[in-house]
């Protein structure tokens, strides 16, 4: 009998499977990866040695209006570790810069005050300027042209009017964008609902290149990269985390080159050989990734890749936030 702990909300569901009925346990090797240093040291080293880019402090010199795109309540990005180091790096180059954290909600509901406090910590929440993106607030958005796909590119005004645009985030396989992180901090994260729907359309999601781990030829990625360049995203800080949401690697620098380096690292760790089975039990990794049905589709996508035709997927998700998106529900 094999005992398996399945991430569920802030805890686990434990199940026992008879050995003769267990086809395999598929999990990322990130969970066994031994990082070269502590979390803060990894981030500091990435900022000190950016990929294909000057240091952030050098980019910040002479810039007065700086915006840092940061993930929302649906992502386990360790902002309390990353943000202070980003701020110190920026302020060492531009001590008097006006810095705003732009919370990238994409098509999600607004992040609550309590969620912001949990994300940033009490001190940063009190002392730093934080704005929550609203994809439906037309007066907070600017038209930035047309996507390669033909959709309207409408981006948050704060980002478009910044002297320097920076993004923090994390990299994981994504069910139709290939990987999260990098360019995805702009599209879908800080664009209008119109732009999200143009990019996240059924035609693109059904495309044979719109799959986890694939960037080249992926129409969603093509749009996303275009949008990030249109917004003049100048620098990224992306981390890779393990099952305990701890940082195991960090990548900083050019939005495209640094992101690709991170994607290669994640791909080497996360790719596993399928073990086709009649029953596949999965989860979305626990909180905050499984807080609603909207996010939990990712668990279904991963399970589908190893479930036999006509088989059964059991997806374990707390979904404390319900379906998570009124638009998706409708």
Tens-digit pLDDT profile for residues 29-79: 888 899 999 999 999 999 999 999 999 999 999 999 999 999 999 889 999
Q: Examine the pLDDT at 328 and tell me if it is beyond 80.
A: no
Q: Examine the pLDDT at 153 and tell me if it is beyond 80.
A: yes
Show me where the domains of the chain are located.
Answer: 1-27+275-330, 29-271
Take residue 147 and report the two structure tokens written for it: 């996507």
> In angstroms, rounded to a whole number, what is the distance separating the alpha carbons of residues 135 and 254?
26
Q: Which fold has domain 1-27+275-330?
A: 2-enoyl-CoA Hydratase; Chain A, domain 1 (3.90.226)
Model pLDDT for residues 126-149, shown as the tens digit of each residue: 999 999 999 999 999 999 999 999
> In angstroms, rounded to a whole number, what is the distance separating the alpha carbons of residues 104 and 115?
13
Model pLDDT for residues 155-166, shown as the tens digit of each residue: 999 999 999 999
- In DSSP terms, 129 is beta-bridged to 100
Question: Which residue is catalytic, options 73, 133, 174, 259?
Answer: 174
Q: Please indicate whether residue 133 is annotated as part of the active site.
A: no
Model pLDDT for residues 217-230, shown as the tens digit of each residue: 999 999 999 999 99
Question: Which residue is catalytic, options 108, 133, 200, 221?
Answer: 108
Residue 323 is predicted with a pLDDT of 87
The class of domain 29-271 in CATH terms is alpha beta
What percentage of the chain has pLDDT greater than the value 70? 100
Residue 28 is predicted with a pLDDT of 86
User: Which residue is listed with tokens 């479930």?
Assistant: 307
What percentage of the chain has pLDDT greater than the value 90? 85
- In DSSP terms, 174 is beta-bridged to 178
Torsions phi, psi for 14 (to 5 deg): -105, 135
Take residue 279 and report the two structure tokens written for it: 């029953």
Does the pTM of the predicted model rise above 0.95? no
- In DSSP terms, 113 is beta-bridged to none
Residue 239 is predicted with a pLDDT of 98
Model pLDDT for residues 70-108, shown as the tens digit of each residue: 999 988 999 999 999 999 999 999 999 999 999 999 998
Residue 205 is predicted with a pLDDT of 92
Q: Examine the pLDDT at 14 and tell me if it is beyond 90.
A: yes
Mean pLDDT of 186-201: 96
> In angstroms, rounded to a whole number, what is the distance separating the alpha carbons of residues 296 and 324?
10
**DSSP state letters, 39-78:** HHHHHHHHHHS-BSS--HHHHHTT--EEEEEEE-TTS---
How high does pLDDT run on average in the chain? 95
Q: Please indicate whether residue 108 is annotated as part of the active site.
A: yes
Q: Examine the pLDDT at 115 and tell me if it is beyond 90.
A: yes
């Amino acid at each position: 009998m094999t005992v398996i702990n399945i991430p569920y909300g802030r805890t686990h569901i434990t199940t026992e499977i008879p050995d003769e009925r267990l086809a395999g346990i598929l999990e990322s090797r990130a969970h066994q990866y031994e990082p070269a240093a502590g979390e803060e040291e990894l981030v500091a080293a990435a900022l000190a040695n950016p990929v294909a880019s000057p240091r952030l402090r050098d980019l910040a010199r002479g810039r007065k209006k700086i915006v840092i795109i940061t993930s929302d309540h649906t992502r386990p990005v360790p902002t309390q570790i990353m943000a202070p180091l980003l701020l110190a790096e920026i302020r060492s180059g531009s001590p008097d810069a006006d810095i705003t954290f732009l919370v990238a909600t994409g098509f999600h509901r607004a992040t609550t005050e309590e969620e912001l406090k949990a994300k940033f910590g009490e001190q940063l929440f009190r002392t730093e300027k934080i704005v929550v993106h609203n994809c439906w607030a037309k007066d907070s958005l600017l038209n930035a042209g047309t996507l390669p796909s033909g959709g309207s590119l409408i981006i948050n005004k704060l980002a478009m009017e910044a002297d320097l645009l920076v993004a923090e985030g994390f990299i994981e396989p994504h069910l139709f964008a290939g990987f999260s992180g990098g360019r995805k901090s702009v599209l879908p994260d800080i664009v209008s609902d119109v732009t999200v729907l143009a990019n996240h359309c059924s035609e693109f999601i059904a495309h044979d290149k719109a799959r986890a781990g694939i960037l080249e030829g992926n129409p969603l990625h093509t749009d996303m990269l275009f949008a990030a360049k249109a917004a003049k995203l100048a620098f990224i800080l992306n981390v890779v985390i393990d099952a305990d949401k701890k940082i195991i690697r960090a990548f900083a620098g050019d939005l495209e080159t640094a992101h690709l380096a991170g994607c290669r690292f994640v791909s080497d760790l996360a790719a596993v050989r399928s073990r086709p089975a009649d029953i596949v039990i999965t989860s979305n990794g626990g909180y905050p990734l499984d807080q609603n049905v909207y996010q939990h589709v990712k668990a279904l996508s991963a399970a589908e890749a190893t479930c036999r035709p006509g088989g059964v997927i059991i997806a374990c998700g707390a979904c404390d936030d319900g379906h998570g998106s009124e638009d998706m529900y409708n």
